[in-house]
Structure 1
Amino acid sequence: MRRYQEVIEKHLSTGNMAVLNMLNTKYFIQPSKNGPIAMQNPEALGNAWFINDIKLVENADEEIAALNGFNPKLTAIVDKRFEGSVKNFVTSNDSSGFIKLDVYKPNKLVYTSSSSTDRVAVFSEIYYNKGWKVTIDGKPAEHFRANYILRAMVVPEGNHKIEFVFDPEMWYIGRNIDLASSLLILLIFAGWVGMSIYKKELLH
């Protein structure tokens, strides 16, 4: 969540409409004589959308800076570490294509898409790859980070069903591997300290 906090501090706190729109902010609270009222945001981009162009940046610092002065409806900003995911993407402005959210649950999101060419879809969901699996028509697929905090993926031409599912088992396995690695490092360090103390005692 550190990235989201950085976006709040650098963009949301300054009222960056591009960022508010890509996060699908549907309403703003505005003061009025009769108290606060909710005003609809007509520029909110929805749960997912196809973009026309990719802007590659060198690193995360450039990625978050590029959120100033860009149009998230048309362009996705992508760190070069994910370049392999979009290397075959060809700029497209197929206005007939669409992607929409059909099912929303905390651990499962289902979308349907249709397009005449391969497209890149951006989702107004925070990118967090640990434990999340994505499939297209039931087959494993890959997603990547765009616009510093959002999910994105290449969607092939045609009609498709896209599912994001959170798999706790994968998350626990990853967490346990990290924990085991940390414990191993601690044991090695403890062993090294113990050996150093033992050698010093022998010298004395």
Structure 2
Amino acid sequence: NPTHEVYLTAAEASKIPRNLLSDLSASPSVAGAGSVSVATYQPNAVGLIASVHRPVLLMLADTYYPGWKAFDNGREVPLLRVNHTLRGVILEPGEHDILFVFKPSSLVLGAWLSLAAAGACLLCLIVKRKRSDRYKKPLSMQTP
């Protein structure tokens, strides 16, 4: 029953502080835990507003993929892989503005490499043009 239990690997469970892990285990039901609403939903960003009365695991029924990052009230928090394929975060009691952002390091690296390659091509064109200008001889208008 997904409203009472979730599957976490040992690696994912190790991201949860021990005191919160025991609190989560003690009260697995979602009844009366609080509320959550979707603020924004875009391909590369999901924003949620949550108000919880006790520690909870907020599970977003969206695919987990490396490159997603989670922020709670502007502070990066551990993103958990829940039930093998979904994303989740641990919330302590209180008000939360949660933002899931997709920004894989491969995308950033690819952008930097593309920029470097474009710069190298531009530099090659400039050097080639300067060399060709240097070897051009002006034509003389005089005849012998």
Q: Deviation per CA, 1:55-84, whole angstroms, max 9, x where unpaired? A: xxxxxxxxxxxxxxxx01211111112121
Q: How does 1:114-193 map to 2 (within 5 A)?
A: 114-130=51-67, 132-167=68-103, 170-173=105-108
CA distance 1:175–1:119, change in 2 (3 Å):
farther
Shift of 1:96: 4.4
Q: Which protein has the larger Cα radius of gyration, Structure 1 or Structure 2?
A: 2
For the residue of structure 2 that corresponds to 1:75, the secondary structure is coil
Cα distance in 2 for residues equivalent to 1:96 and 1:148: 23
Q: Please name the residue that 1:62 is paired with.
A: none
Cα distance in 2 for residues equivalent to 1:112 and 1:163: 9
Is 1:76 matched up with 2:6? yes
**Structure 1 residue ranges (4+ consecutive) displaced by more than 6 angstroms after TM superposition:** none
Identity across the alignment (%): 23
The higher relative CO (CA closer than 8 Å, separation ≥ 6) is in 2
Cα distance in 1 for residues equivalent to 2:70 and 2:109: 17
Q: Deviation per CA, 1:162-203, whole angstroms, max 9, x where unpaired? A: 0011225x3324679xxxxxxxxxxxxxxxxxxxxxxxxxxx
For the residue of structure 1 that corresponds to 2:13, the secondary structure is helix
Q: Please name the residue that 1:103 is paired with.
A: 40
Instruction: Figure out how many residues of one structure are paired with residues of the other and give that number.
Output: 104
RMSD of Structure 2 on Structure 1 (CA)? 2.1
Letter in 2 for 1:102: A
Letter in 2 for 1:107: N
Cα distance in 2 for residues equivalent to 1:76 and 1:96: 16
TM-score (norm 1): 0.46
TM-score (norm 2): 0.64
For structure 2, the residue ranges without an aligned partner over 5 or more in a row are 112-144
Cα distance in 2 for residues equivalent to 1:139 and 1:157: 16
CA contact (8 A) 1:77 1:147 kept: yes
CA contact (8 A) 1:143 1:152 kept: yes
Cα distance in 2 for residues equivalent to 1:76 and 1:99: 18
For structure 1, the residue ranges without an aligned partner over 5 or more in a row are 1-70, 177-204
